[in-house]
Amino acid sequence: MRLNNKIVVVTGAGRGIGEAISIRLAKEGADIVVCDIDFDNAERTAEKIKIIGCQSLAIKADVSKGKDVEEMVNLTMEKFGRIDILVNNAGILIIKPIVEFKEEEWDRVIDVDLKGVFLCSRAVAKVMINQKSGKIINISSSSGKMGTEFFASYAAAKFGVIGFTQGLAKELAPCKITVNVVCPGIIGTKMWDYADEELGKILRLPKG
């Protein structure tokens, strides 16, 4: 097992891509800190990891809130004493024509999908700098490379994640910390079921 005794923090790990990442890393031997805004979902993923034979810790956290993120790191350090890998996966999606987008909806997407990556990376980087080692993996999207109609807020956030990753990688390289970004395409999760449904509604609207 390649990740034996490694401690991995995964955000948005209660379902979908985050859950799949957590389970896959556990199968490689890692102990997983399962973070999600929905604690019930986090606990379910954590139980699946224990069945695999690895340790897990479920934490309720809203990655857009600095206090939640600091508590997430504190609880992780109390239990495991270090963080080897951070996977910034938490994200939300709101699909609407831009003229119908409310300011608070825009802010929420940016807060979770981009600010959350900053807050988690900042908090965990402090630990990794002291360790003189670590890996940060940010989950962006194909929408972060090419914008799509009705996905403006999501695309803006995911473009931002790519730029943030590039800058942070250079900043943390001297500390022996690597920072990388992954840009998946469409994956069959509940979030993309929602996307299909909302796009269908928009595209069926009569023009004019």
Catalytic positions, please? 154
- Other Cβ atoms less than 10 A from the Cβ of 208: the count is 3
Residue with tokens 């990556």: 117
Q: What is the DSSP string of 132-186?
A: T-EEEEEE--GGGTS--TT-HHHHHHHHHHHHHHHHHHHHHGGGTEEEEEE----
Structure tokens that stand for 57 in this block: 């810790």
Handedness of CA 85, 64, 18, 50 (dihedral sign): positive
